[in-house]
Amino acid sequence: MGQKILVVEDNELNLKLFCDLLRAHAYVAEPVRDGREAVATARTFVPDLIVMDIQMPHISGLELIEQIKADGELAPIPIMAVTAYAAKGDEERIRDAGAEGYVSKPISVLKFVEAVRSLLDAAAARVAEEPAPAAAAGAPAETESPEPETQEAAAPEGEAAPEAPDGAGDEEDGTAPAPDVT
């Protein structure tokens, strides 16, 4: 199964185009037509990336980006804004809200797919660089200690292993002799 991408777009043609493109490149695309459902869908779908339209009715993509980035569970998910906004400063405002990527409409198919791949690769690299949760919290990592193979290995430091009863063991290493099979 490919990486999961949530596509939030109110325009039916754009939604179909984005989802078809993503599926053609082996991604699992989940469409959301109404921005008011985006946060709840993100929680249940748990995407690796969110593709977000900015101009939508009811709630703007900018507001959704801010909500998602303010949510502890959803904040790590990268967001790529896709918008017809082309005014000076719009990209900066969208990135300031928390979007990691920006593609303007009309999209270039190659640029769109490359931006998706780049954001997913960057997110995977960040995850790979993060220390393990126990190490990050300063707690020692739990490791299983191997079971001692002999009594000597089990003896506390500075103490000798208990002696085997007379005739029960080999005097050199304290282990039981092999049975006589004649």
Judge whether 146 lies within some domain.
Answer: no
- Domain harbouring 124, CATH code: 3.40.50.2300
Residue closest to 117 by CA, chosen among 78, 82, 91? 78
> What's residue 27's pLDDT?
98
Query: pTM for the complete prediction?
Result: 0.71
- Give the structural domain span for 91: 4-135
Question: How far apart are alpha carbons 78 and 65 in whole angstroms?
Answer: 10
The better pLDDT of the pair 175, 29 is held by 29
State the total domains in the chain: 1
Q: Which residue has the higher pLDDT, 134 or 132?
A: 132
pLDDT of residue 89: 87
What is the β-pairing status of strands 101-104 and 49-53?
A: unpaired
Q: What is the dihedral of CA 57, 8, 90, 116, to 10 degrees?
A: -170
pLDDT at 131: 75
Q: What is the pLDDT of residue 167?
A: 47
Asked, for residue 86, whether it belongs to a domain, the answer is yes
